[in-house]
Structure 1
Amino acid sequence: MTNNEERFKATTPNFRTEAAKKLAELFPEVVADGQIDTDALEELLNPDLEDEESNEKYEFIWRGKKNSKRIADAPARDTTLIMDKDKSKDWENTKNVYIEGDNLEALKLMQKAYGEKVKIIYIDPPYNTGHDFVYKDNYHDSYQNYLETTGQLDDEGNITTTNKESNGRYHTDWLNMMYPRLKLARNLLTKDGVIFISIDDNEHDRLKIMCDEIFGESNFQADFIWKSTAGSNTGSAIKTVTEYIVCYAKNSRFFEAAGIEPANDNKYKLEDEYVKRRGKYLLNKLDRRMTPLHYSESLNYPIQMPDNTSIYPGGKGKQDNWNWRWSKNKLQWGIDNKFIVMKKGKQGWSVYFKQYQKVDNEDNQINRTLPQQNLLDIDGVSSARGTKEVTDLFNNDKVFDYPKPINLLKHLIKIIAEKDITILDFFSGSGSTAQAVMEQNAEDGGHRKFIMVQLPEKTDKKSVAYKDGYKNIPDIAEERIRRAGEAIQKEHPKADIDTGFKVFKLERSTIKQWDKNPENFEAQLELIHSPFTQESTNDQRALEIAIKSGIDLEASPEVDGDNYHFVTDDKEVFAILGNYDENLLEKINKQRKLPNATVVLREMNNGSETKFNLIEKLKQEPELNDHFSLEWL
């Protein structure tokens, strides 16, 4: 291992830099003096480029698009997540996560830990109707922007940043909000992952073109269409009753959609000792009356019944144009393998074969499911149903408008056959997706995990929600998840369901940021004595180090005084925030659980010599060098 000691990077990845690194790894010939030689890259790709005689190309542009790309690529420097155990449920055991904060910053903070680990993303973003919340991002000071955004209410509690259609940048403001979030979301999807985006006619076309650019036109799967209302007045002669769910795969080559159980699947009602492998079955008569053209003499033979009598196809003596459907050899195989049933009724003996759910008539496994359809015909799916589901949980109080119905979200979840996956919703609203995940787990024994992200947008002071004590949307959502979890556990008392969730809040970074302004030089000297903000705690500091080192939010550290040890399936981090000596690496080597671990050291007062000796020891001792990388604050 090389370069095993460096300063800790208190930022998330910068994807312009990451992209350059990947290009350099793939095509070292385009690197010159440590930079990407764009002329060399263009020459390498020349066979794939457009006709040089034409400068025209198909593209979707809008005012602010370049800045949206910069915002997506810029690392999260000044933000972190802090835990809120008081608002959480079953903190020590749950694998579910709820984040209160701006989803743009949350997505950036998730990049290292959740990159290519999320199987399903579902979002229900603002439809840009002129009344919903479309907020603007600030490239230079994301945390200050976040504080301003969540405080943009007048004295009456009304949102002051609605995007009216009279605004000259009506569509571009929405595009600039959506673009960086979708770009960051794509990085989180597994290679066979999928994203579902709810939308209506207002921005559907622009969303589709934007997603073609971000996810790739070839990865578009479908526009799912569902009937959301009995009819809404759009100002035209035709009422709109449907909405869309736009679906893109991370990579179509790897994406697979589970089939739909046939509507008549309940016709399989009988079962035998083979039910686990073959499924249930129904009985089909083995004989058929044939046309002369399809009659076969070899299939018109007698079969001996249990009482030693024999019958021909048709149930009597030998008759023209009657055949068994199976040959003599196939019949004997069917008897031996219990596919054949002989029954005596009022009209005499009849011969049947078993048609199973899960195997064909040669005992080969089959899939009788039907392909997914983009027209969703699902019971209990409407905006009114979604509202009722929430009001029922809140004792008939209407605390949230038009949440998505649970059955709709469960249908989307079941499109992915796997049951042990992570599902992300970063416009999570009232928490419908969380409830859908828990319900689906209860029904099929799955262990899906959810990550919800929601801006703490304040509720209207005149609203029922505000009067009931819910001051912002996360207050509503967290209470909904609690109540829904209790109801699900009551309905499925024996099911192993995770109905807990860990709450994290977006806050300013605990790590002081270097200010290049010469006027603030003296204040920056304090970084020598402490890299952390005075008001932060060691628990919060360690969590930020873990997040920005790639530890997911499920992990709970082993704590030894001021030292923290985080481990996940593929990442191990030691955050050493207390005092240490030159034997530190040998001590933590005994605790190490993965082949390689990162050690992040807080600079001690008068500890430069100790740090230097640790660095030298790492260089000189191969066993330690192979297992540790050392970073310091």
Structure 2
Amino acid sequence: MQELNMQSPNWVNENSKFIAERFPNCVTETAEGFKVDFDLLKQELSTDLVEGNKERYRLEWPGKKEAIVTANLPTTKTLRPVREDSVDFDTTENLYIEGDNLEVLKILQESYLGKIKMIYIDPPYNTGKDFVYKDNFSKDSQEELYESGQQDENSRRLISNPDTSGRYHSNWLTMIYPRLKLARNLLCKKGIIFISIDDIEQHNLRKICDEIFGEENFIANIIWQKKYAPQNDAKYFSDSHEHILAYSKNKEFFKIGLLPRTEEANKRYSNPDNDHRGPWKSSDLTRAEYRPNDDFAIVNPINGMEFYPPKGNSWRQPKDKIEELISENRIWFGVNGDSRPSLKRYLSDVKQGITPQTIWERKDVGDTQEGKKRVKEIFENASIFETVKPHRLIHRMLKIANVKQGDTVLDFFSGSGTTAEAVLRYDCDLKFIQVQIPEKTDLTSEAHKMGFDNICEIGKERIRRAAKKIKEETGADIDYGFRVYRLDESNMKDVYYKPQEYAQDKLDLFADNVKSDRNPDDLLAQVMLDWGLPLSLRIQQANINGKKVFKVAENSLFAYFDDNIDEDFAKAIAEEKPLRIVFKDSGFKDDTAKTNVKQLLKQLSPETEMKVL
């Protein structure tokens, strides 16, 4: 039963609705909701040019400035290793990071600046029913996050975004903008980003990407057939496709990868005359314009028949070139020798691949049903995810991105972990970085009943199981492991700094400021990030002078965070000639030892850069 409004009519809203029906372009989103753009309405009601604000070709929305500021704000957070959830922690170069991707992208800025070959993301779509991230990092305690609406009762950093909201598009744009801005920094100059999106925000996302990546770096708007069976209950059209926007970091350096030639494509070539150059197909010799010099008779040397170009056309080649091609048996006159001449194009001369097209059919790259089926197989027929991208879809992107051995692929809306599986299944040994917010699973879901409290737990388990299956199927000698890191507050007590400001004069402030619940693994991760070293570097533990020392990438970094650092230890370290070394400030035996260690390193290993926590 409909309830009484118990208030007088809101004529402003009613009149605004009337205007919106007649002039929909004059109603726009503002910080307070839908409003009438009176300047534009004046122009609609006038045949003369109405002077107003200076026009610009750009996308604006309430919250855009906030989004730009959000991307530029520094972070004090760090990443803490979770060894118990990892596979081959010390040797693997793959990463799985749990946490809000905006903060994680900020943390990765220095260590992975210009080092990512391909990024793929499948962000939450703005359907009016789903959630979008809310980025307000001014308060950090769990209680304040909950009270401010940044997290719900299940600690999800998400907010509902119904299509009736006056900031329906604005909320989504404010969420995606800073993430893409930071992501661009991580791409190498040959890199490319692929973004899955539906029709609702595709046009806005295109404008955002034009602004962030540059309109000149637009590669393609790919149409992917995500499903085959039509939705007969659809009101207008059955939605059977999604968009994938592709942008390069710099089109001048990006080289697109060709797709493997298919059997169907090769069938177009045959060899009816047993040409020693192999299979060929005929190509038209005529040009759709008239050039007098190229209007002549081509004579079949076998039977003397003459052929002229159609009226108004001419041959593509001059007479002497045609005669040369005939002498080389490169002109075809048909089986009976009475067909208009055509040029032979040989399979051996074509590119060793096919230029990608912008329409991707499900038979070639899979659909959501295939993706769902794959996850069900991995989890022993359990329905964990309803909509999953197939790994064949990501595989095609990897081909087009022209990834090579050792390249890194990033997905910061990792979800079920499809990108990681696609990387593991690829033709060469690649590295992946997966980032996912630990969104809680629904208490009534099958995933929760199986013991998965959040999406990260599902993603990690999928990668473990997929890696095991791939290794059994292929036996390929690749990196099947991954290191797990979890977003957290700084390891230092009440000290806030920008990662790029990790200078010696500031490091001295950190003495005895390590939080009591942090271990050497935590400190090493933060040191690597602060020093701009990739978290994927190989980590070893060596015994030097009776002390366990972390060695990162052979001699790139040595780290020791325990006590009793003295001159003898410094001499032993100096023999290893590390490029960098870090100690805990409170770990020196005494002040004299601290001074002597510094001087000994300068004397015995002058190339070593020493810092302290």
Q: In structure 1, which of residues 115, 121, 124 is the aligned counterpart of residue 122 of structure 2?
A: 124
Give the letter aligned to residue 94 of structure 2.
Answer: N
Matched, 1:216 2:214: yes
Distance in 1 separating the partners of 2:553 and 2:494: 27
Give the letter aligned to residue 101 of structure 1.
Answer: G
Give the letter aligned to residue 426 of structure 1.
Answer: F
Describe the SS at the equivalent of 1:165.
coil
Say whether the 8 Å CA contact 1:120–1:423 is kept in structure 2. Answer: yes
In structure 1, the residue matched to 2:112 is: 114
Q: In structure 2, which of residues 420, 423, 448 is the aligned counterpart of residue 466 of structure 1?
A: 448
In structure 1, the residue matched to 2:238 is: 239
In structure 2, the residue matched to 1:294 is: 298
Give the CA deviation at 1:599.
3.9
Describe the SS at the equivalent of 1:82.
strand
Distance in 1 separating the partners of 2:306 and 2:260: 34
Give the letter aligned to residue 138 of structure 2.
Answer: H
Describe the SS at the equivalent of 2:195.
strand
Give the letter aligned to residue 105 of structure 1.
Answer: E
Normalization by structure 2: what TM-score? 0.72
Relative to structure 1, the CA distance from residue 217 to residue 404 in structure 2 (aligned partners, 3 Å threshold; closer, same or farther) is: same
Give the CA deviation at 1:88.
2.0
Give the letter aligned to residue 372 of structure 1.
Answer: P
Say whether the 8 Å CA contact 1:215–1:248 is kept in structure 2. Answer: yes
**Residues 315-347 of structure 1: CA deviation (Å, up to 9, x unaligned):** xxxx54599x9979997xx9xxxx9xxxxxxxx
In structure 1, the residue matched to 2:573 is: 588
Give the CA deviation at 1:434.
1.1
Give the CA deviation at 1:370.
3.1
Give the CA deviation at 1:372.
1.7
Distance in 2 separating the partners of 1:208 and 1:181: 15
Distance in 2 separating the partners of 1:537 and 1:150: 32
Say whether the 8 Å CA contact 1:529–1:605 is kept in structure 2. Answer: no
Matched, 1:630 2:613: no
In structure 1, the residue matched to 2:18 is: none
Say whether the 8 Å CA contact 2:383–2:446 is kept in structure 1. Answer: yes
Give the letter aligned to residue 369 of structure 2.
Answer: A
Relative to structure 1, the CA distance from residue 376 to residue 632 in structure 2 (aligned partners, 3 Å threshold; closer, same or farther) is: same
**Residues 3-31 of structure 1: CA deviation (Å, up to 9, x unaligned):** xxxxxxxxxxxxxxxxxxxxxxxxxxxxx
Give the letter aligned to residue 632 of structure 1.
Answer: V
Give the CA deviation at 1:473.
0.6
Say whether the 8 Å CA contact 2:118–2:193 is kept in structure 1. Answer: yes
Which runs of structure 2 are paired with 1:233-632 in the superposition (5 Å)?
Answer: 237-263=236-262, 264-267=264-267, 282-283=278-279, 293-295=297-299, 319-321=303-305, 357=347, 359-360=348-349, 367-379=351-363, 381-420=366-405, 421-439=407-425, 441=426, 444=427, 446-493=428-475, 495-514=476-495, 530-559=512-541, 560=543, 561=547, 563-567=549-553, 572-578=556-562, 579-582=564-567, 586-592=571-577, 596-597=579-580, 599=582, 601-604=584-587, 607-613=590-596, 621=603, 624-625=605-606, 627-632=607-612
Describe the SS at the equivalent of 1:565.
strand
In structure 2, the residue matched to 1:101 is: 99
Give the CA deviation at 1:210.
1.4
Relative to structure 1, the CA distance from residue 293 to residue 95 in structure 2 (aligned partners, 3 Å threshold; closer, same or farther) is: same
Give the letter aligned to residue 298 of structure 2.
Answer: H
Normalization by structure 1: what TM-score? 0.70
Relative to structure 1, the CA distance from residue 492 to residue 355 in structure 2 (aligned partners, 3 Å threshold; closer, same or farther) is: farther
Say whether the 8 Å CA contact 1:564–1:576 is kept in structure 2. Answer: yes
Give the letter aligned to residue 248 of structure 1.
Answer: Y
In structure 2, the residue matched to 1:522 is: none
Describe the SS at the equivalent of 1:193.
strand
Say whether the 8 Å CA contact 1:225–1:376 is kept in structure 2. Answer: yes
Give the CA deviation at 1:398.
0.9
Relative to structure 1, the CA distance from residue 177 to residue 528 in structure 2 (aligned partners, 3 Å threshold; closer, same or farther) is: closer
Say whether the 8 Å CA contact 1:222–1:247 is kept in structure 2. Answer: yes
Distance in 2 separating the partners of 1:540 and 1:392: 36
In structure 1, the residue matched to 2:56 is: 57
Give the CA deviation at 1:186.
0.8
Distance in 1 separating the partners of 2:378 and 2:149: 27
Relative to structure 1, the CA distance from residue 146 to residue 426 in structure 2 (aligned partners, 3 Å threshold; closer, same or farther) is: farther
Relative to structure 1, the CA distance from residue 168 to residue 598 in structure 2 (aligned partners, 3 Å threshold; closer, same or farther) is: farther
Distance in 2 separating the partners of 1:177 and 1:383: 25
Say whether the 8 Å CA contact 1:564–1:574 is kept in structure 2. Answer: yes
Between stretches 404-413 and 454-463, larger displacement belongs to 404-413
In structure 1, the residue matched to 2:24 is: none
Distance in 1 separating the partners of 2:493 and 2:156: 35
Describe the SS at the equivalent of 2:573.
helix
Describe the SS at the equivalent of 2:110.
helix
Which runs of structure 2 are paired with 1:34-49 in the superposition (5 Å)?
Answer: none
Describe the SS at the equivalent of 2:111.
helix
Say whether the 8 Å CA contact 1:599–1:628 is kept in structure 2. Answer: no
Relative to structure 1, the CA distance from residue 605 to residue 89 in structure 2 (aligned partners, 3 Å threshold; closer, same or farther) is: closer
Distance in 2 separating the partners of 1:146 and 1:217: 40
Describe the SS at the equivalent of 1:114.
coil
Between stretches 526-535 and 447-456, larger displacement belongs to 526-535
Distance in 1 separating the partners of 2:217 and 2:232: 33
Describe the SS at the equivalent of 2:421.
helix
Between stretches 467-476 and 545-554, larger displacement belongs to 545-554
Distance in 2 separating the partners of 1:62 and 1:69: 12
Describe the SS at the equivalent of 2:200.
coil
Give the letter aligned to residue 409 of structure 1.
Answer: I
Relative to structure 1, the CA distance from residue 385 to residue 320 in structure 2 (aligned partners, 3 Å threshold; closer, same or farther) is: same
Say whether the 8 Å CA contact 1:76–1:108 is kept in structure 2. Answer: yes
Say whether the 8 Å CA contact 2:269–2:280 is kept in structure 1. Answer: no
Describe the SS at the equivalent of 1:98.
strand
Describe the SS at the equivalent of 1:543.
helix
Describe the SS at the equivalent of 2:460.
helix
Give the CA deviation at 1:447.
0.9
In structure 2, the residue matched to 1:36 is: none
Say whether the 8 Å CA contact 1:573–1:597 is kept in structure 2. Answer: yes
**Residues 43-83 of structure 1: CA deviation (Å, up to 9, x unaligned):** xxxxxxxxxxx965333332222232222222221x22222
Relative to structure 1, the CA distance from residue 588 to residue 147 in structure 2 (aligned partners, 3 Å threshold; closer, same or farther) is: farther
RMSD: 4.1
Which runs of structure 2 are paired with 1:40-189 in the superposition (5 Å)?
Answer: 56-77=55-76, 79-141=77-139, 152-154=151-153, 161-189=159-187
